[in-house]
């Protein structure tokens, strides 16, 4: 199923170290586990707070600089919290040619935020990403876990409305295919 849990308390609080302990436990002393450790920590907390990175360094036996270096190298790691739904607008080649810029502009317009920002109600964060591998249906946008294809600036409003209700009350996926 596409939409499993969309409860409002999706992410753990950075003061609660239990999820992190569990993750570190699981990877133990596995060789080269730093990237998966950070990935799972981000999944649990929504982003990589400095406190979390320091804990990882201390508990899993890395230099903090090493942890921070990896976290800032890869595009996927975020050092700031995100909203309930992360909107990723694809700016890969096919989507660029198909008008991805207008899609980002329209989402930004509708939400009143710029790329990289989160709405004041913490509902949406807007990001640009590289190819999502659904180029044949360009332009593409992913909201939370759902991929939306063949977008037009005119279809954005409807897509966003679908997620805009109170936390966790995402409307059921209608027949919104063209």
Binding site for ligand FES (CB under 6 A): 90, 92-95, 131-135, 138, 140
Q: Taking Cα atoms as reference points, which of 62, 63, 75, 10 lies closest to residue 31? A: 62
d(CA 73, CA 43): 18
Q: Does position 57 bind other proteins by CB under 8 A? A: no
Give the per-residue contact string, 61-80, with other proteins (x = CB under 8 A; - = no).
--------xx--xxxxx---
- At residue 54, the 3 state secondary structure works out as helix
Q: Which residues of 59-82 are buried (b: 16+ CB within 10 A; e: fewer)?
A: ebebeeeebbebbeeeeebbeeeb
d(CA 162, CA 103): 17
Closest residue to bound ligand FES by CB: 92
Region from 12-20, 44-52, 110-118, 134-142 binding other proteins, contact rule CB under 8 A: 134-142
Non-local CB neighbours of 125 within 8 Å, separated by 6+ positions = 82, 83, 85, 86, 87, 117, 118, 119
Region from 10-18, 34-42, 116-124, 163-171 binding other proteins, contact rule CB under 8 A: 34-42
| Among other proteins, ligand FES, none, residue 165 binds (CB under 5-8 Å by kind) | none
d(CA 77, CA 92): 19
Q: How many residues bind other proteins (CB under 8 A)?
A: 53
Q: Taking Cα atoms as reference points, which of 113, 114, 116 lies closest to residue 129? A: 116
| Among other proteins, ligand FES, none, residue 152 binds (CB under 5-8 Å by kind) | other proteins
Shortest distance, position 39 Cβ to other proteins, whole Å = 6
Q: Which is nearer to ligand FES, 56 or 90 (CB)?
A: 90
Cα dist from 112 to 134, 167, 169, whole Å: 27, 19, 22
Shortest distance, position 32 Cβ to other proteins, whole Å = 4
Q: Does position 106 bind other proteins by CB under 8 A? A: yes
Query: Residue numbers of the site for other proteins (CB under 8 A)?
Result: 2, 31-36, 38-39, 69-70, 73-77, 92-99, 102, 105-106, 109, 129-138, 140, 145-150, 152-154, 173-177
């Amino acid at each position: 199923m596409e939409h499993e849990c969309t409860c409002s308390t999706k992410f753990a609080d950075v003061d609660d170290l239990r999820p992190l302990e569990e993750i570190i436990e699981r990877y133990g002393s596995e060789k080269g586990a730093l990237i998966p450790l950070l990935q799972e920590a981000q999944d649990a907390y929504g982003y990589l707070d400095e406190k979390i990175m320091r804990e990882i360094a201390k508990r899993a036996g890395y230099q903090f600089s090493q942890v921070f270096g990896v976290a800032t190298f890869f595009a996927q790691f975020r050092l700031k919290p995100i909203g309930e739904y992360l909107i990723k607008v694809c700016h890969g080649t096919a989507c660029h040619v198909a008008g991805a810029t207008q899609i980002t502009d329209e989402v930004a317009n509708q939400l009143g935020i710029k790329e990289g920002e989160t709405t004041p109600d913490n509902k949406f964060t807007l990001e640009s990403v590289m190819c999502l591998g659904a180029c044949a249906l360009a332009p593409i946008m992913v909201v939370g876990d759902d991929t939306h294809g063949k977008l037009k600036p005119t279809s954005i409003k409807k897509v966003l409305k679908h997620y805009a209700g109170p936390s966790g009350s995402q409307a059921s996926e209608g027949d919104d295919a063209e």
